[in-house]
Chain A
Amino acid sequence: GQQLNQSPQSMFIQEGEDVSMNCTSSSIFNTWLWYKQDPGEGPVLLIALYKAGELTSNGRLTAQFGITRKDSFLNISASIPSDVGIYFCAGPLNAGGTSYGKLTFGQGTILTVHP
């Protein structure tokens, strides 16, 4: 399958700080997805991106579809304790596809927020 590389692997921040993480691939993707996973639960979709250059917000979260179509960024502003969790980027297993089906996931970014 296609390889998605996420960085950083983990982040330790103070409540109120902004957070930025990214995801890169050697292949072009037509869809980028960002999920959050809390301990003991399944991933929950945060933001979906469909066009190169697209910038989409969901509350304090903003994600961008890189112009090269080989990367994506997720930013969290004014972090709060409940932002703690693992954030995954994902895209179609067939990188050039647009379907949500058969996803490939990055390794995840573990976010810890200190009150």
Chain B
Amino acid sequence: GAGVSQSPSNKVTEKGKDVELRCDPISGHTALYWYRQSLGQGLEFLIYFQGNSAPDKSGLPSDRFSAERTGGSVSTLTIQRTQQEDSAVYLCASSPNLGNQPQHFGDGTRLSIL
């Protein structure tokens, strides 16, 4: 489809394992954003990319979280040594650029840490 695509849609893993979440933005969108949504809560901003660059990583919850983007397109969010409090829905959004334009969200990856 033409929207933001995230995979997997659901991920269940054991505490301590590493996980990789993938986001395919809308073609041509240079800005990409990652958010986390805990059960019954609003969205919490994690990190954004302009092209392949992530100028501000201060929103990442801990040093176990990292993200990268290659080719100005696909982005991966990696969580190392997962903890139970990492369980949440991880949402990705993209926009044509960082300016005053709407963000289009994917349907998220629901991550459950056992």
Residues of A within 8 A of B99 (CB): 99-100
Flag whether B100 is at the interface (Cβ < 8 A): yes
- A101 to B48, Cβ gap below 8 A? yes
Chain B interface mostly: loop
- A44 to B41, Cβ gap below 8 A? no
Residues of A within 8 A of B43 (CB): 43, 88, 90, 103, 105
Give min CB distance, B81 to chain A, whole Å: 26
B: number of interface residues (CB 8 Å): 27
Give min CB distance, A27 to chain B, whole Å: 16
Q: Specify which of A4, A98, A101, A106 is in contact with B33 (CB 8 Å cutoff).
A: A101
Decide yes or no: A100 and B45 within 8 Å by CB, A42-B4, A43-B105 being known contacts: no
> Complex formed: what's the CA distance from A106 to B12 in Å?
27
> Complex formed: what's the CA distance from A108 to B38 in Å?
12
> Complex formed: what's the CA distance from A33 to B101 in Å?
11
Q: Kindly count the residue-residue contacts between A and B in the assembled complex, taking CB atoms under 8 Å apart.
A: 68
Stretch of B13-21, B60-68, B71-79, B90-98 with 4 or more beta carbons under 8 angstroms from chain A:
B90-98
Give min CB distance, B45 to chain A, whole Å: 5
Residues of A within 8 A of B93 (CB): 42
Give min CB distance, B36 to chain A, whole Å: 11
Q: Which of A16-46 contact B (CB under 8 A)?
A: 31, 33, 40-45
Residues of B within 8 A of A45 (CB): 102-104
Residues of B within 8 A of A50 (CB): 100
Chain B residues at the A interface, C-beta cutoff of 8 Å: 4, 31, 33, 35, 40-45, 48, 56, 59, 91, 93, 95, 98-108
Chain A residues at the B interface, C-beta cutoff of 8 Å: 1, 4, 6, 31, 33, 40-45, 48, 50, 88, 90, 93, 98-108
3 closest Cβ pairs, A-B complex: A42-B105, A105-B42, A105-B43
